[in-house]
Amino acid sequence: MEVGLGNIISNVLIAVLGAIFTGKAFRFIHEGELGIKLRFGKALRNSDGTPRIIRPGFVLIIPFVETLQRRNVRQQTLALSDQTVMITDNLIFTVSAMVMFRVIDIYRALFEIDELDQSLKDLSMAILREVLAKKTHDGLTDMEAMSKELLDALKPKGHEWGVEFLQFRLTD
């Protein structure tokens, strides 16, 4: 029984393609992440029409047909860089802040808004400037009330983007 060079090459080729297929077929979602599987770019859905959420663990996908989008859903903090704000007394203050949030709707966080973290940072800085610009020098003394006002101004947009804002604090 002779083994030809063509048989060896085809067996090696099949083994290599099998290894590539196997390597691309398994994905892993880490603890603290959720994912959504896409087939030809469209989210897979449950029978009731809701997106199928993939929980932490190994995920089998069909290579070149399906992809997996993942997102961290743990509590996260965004540090806002220094902002120069002119208040109603025509005084200029430089403030910095931090925003704590977590993703509550993975589908919205992945597909309703592009670059979620940067968009949250931009929105938070705009609200910070908007709220502080309406204050007077005396109105800047109650940090707790100001943090609550900032958080209340930010929350409505959060639901639309699939996030829950937990804190909005001035840090400096």
**Calpha distance 66→44 (Å, rounded):** 10
Question: What pTM was computed for the model?
Answer: 0.77
Q: pLDDT tens digits, residue range 108-125? A: 999 988 888 999 999 988
From 75, 69, 70, 76, select the one nearest 30 (Cα to Cα): 70
DSSP states of the chain as a string?
----HHHHHHHHHHHHHHHHHHHHHEEEE-TTEEEEEEETTEE-B-TTS-B-EEPSEEEE--TTTEEEEEEE-S-EEEEEEEEEEE-TTS-EEEEEEEEEEEES-HHHHHHTSSSHHHHHHHHHHHHHHHHHHT--TGGGS-HHHHHHHHHHHHHHHHHHHTEEEEEEEE--
**Calpha distance 87→71 (Å, rounded):** 38
**Calpha distance 97→151 (Å, rounded):** 12
**Calpha distance 55→38 (Å, rounded):** 15
pLDDT at 43: 92
Mean pLDDT by runs of 10 across the 172 residues of the chain is: 70 80 83 94 92 92 90 91 79 85 92 89 89 77 83 87 89 74
CA end-to-end distance (rounded Å), the chain: 82
**Calpha distance 102→66 (Å, rounded):** 27
Q: pLDDT tens digits, residue range 60-74? A: 898 889 999 999 999
Neighbours of 78 (CB within 10 A): 16
